[in-house]
Amino acid sequence: MTLGEKVRSLRKVEGELRGLGRELSQQEVVRAIRHELGASFSQSYLSQVESGARPHLTHHTRQLLARFFKVHPGYLVTDPPGFHTELTSDLRTSEGPLDDWLRKGAEQFVGDIELTGALLKLADHADSRKCLLLLGAIVETPDLVDRLLDALKPVIS
């Protein structure tokens, strides 16, 4: 998430917390900081931050925004590529896109209950990549698909 996206998100949350039912405008943030914290910066500065024209904050502005939004100052930076906030293992991080792809595939075949179920089972497996590699090896072996299907599910049509 970029710094600008974070600030926009914080404006929205702050507006909701203050009972407005909408995000605070940039001007409202500047006014509130001036009123509540006794310091200020310009609305155009905040606009440049949110648009990405100014990708970094000054130390002073970072401290003001952190105090105003009640977040750690370290939050107010652009996240590095590949950064995620979920508590997952390295395996789940690398498997996430594959599992998402499998789930999207399942959505495409909702009319085929067995195929949808198989794709979802793959996506839910702890190591879906290994399962797909195994499937590739099975398919490469002559007649193994039919023999395994007969052994595991003898009544599949």
pLDDT at 94: 62
In the chain, pLDDT over 90 holds for what percent of residues? 56
The pairs formed by 32-39 with CB atoms below 8 angstroms and a separation of 24 or more are 32/68, 33/64, 33/65, 33/68, 36/68, 37/64, 37/67, 37/68, 39/64
* Alpha carbon distance, N-terminus to C-terminus of the chain: 48
Query: Looking at the predicted structure, is the pLDDT value of residue 156 above 70?
Result: no
pLDDT tens-place string over residues 39-93:
989 999 999 999 999 999 999 999 999 999 999 999 999 888 877 666 554 444 4
Mean of per-residue pLDDT scores for the chain = 87
Return phi, psi of residue 99, to 5°.
-65, -40
Class of domain 3-75: mainly alpha
Query: Which pLDDT band, with edges at 50, 70 and 90, does 153 fall under?
Result: confident
d(CA 45, CA 49): 6
In the chain, pLDDT over 70 holds for what percent of residues? 90
Residue whose structure tokens are 């979802």: 120
User: Helix axis angle, 3-17 relative to 43-51, nearest 10°?
Assistant: 120
The residues spanned by each domain of the chain are 3-75, 90-152
Q: Which residues contact 73 (CB under 8 A, 6 or more apart)?
A: 62, 63, 66
Q: How far is CA 121 from CA 35, 127, 133, in A?
A: 55, 11, 15
pLDDT at 86: 60
Mean pLDDT of 22-36: 95
Query: Looking at the predicted structure, is the pLDDT value of residue 122 above 60?
Result: yes
pLDDT at 80: 84
